Amino acid sequence: MKAHELRALTREEVARKIDDLYQEWFNLRFRVATRQLTDTSRSRQVRRDIARAKTILRELERKVEG
């Protein structure tokens, strides 16, 4: 997910997106452990999406504070 797509969402939607990404990352890690995942790069992409979403969420929070 691109940063501009996340910035178009509300704080609650970004927080829900982060929860969804954590769930996806958990499922990917489980599939790697059971050797069912062939595209291991997806895990890295999801981790980066989580970081990106958390950064956008923090920006939105700071905008409200300041």
Residue (of 12, 24, 16, 13) closest to 48 by Cα position: 24
Domain count, the chain: 1
Q: Which residues contact 7 (CB under 8 A, 6 or more apart)?
A: 56, 59
Q: Which domain holds residue 16?
A: 3-65
> What is d(CA 7, CA 9) in angstroms, rounded to the nearest whole number?
5
Q: What is the pLDDT at residue 58?
A: 96
Give the CA angle between residues 44, 52, 63 to the nearest 5°.
170
> What is d(CA 42, CA 11) in angstroms, rounded to the nearest whole number?
25
Q: Domain with 36 in it: what CATH number?
A: 1.10.287.310
Model confidence pLDDT, tens digit, residues 3-29: 999 999 999 999 999 999 999 999 999
Model pTM?
Answer: 0.89
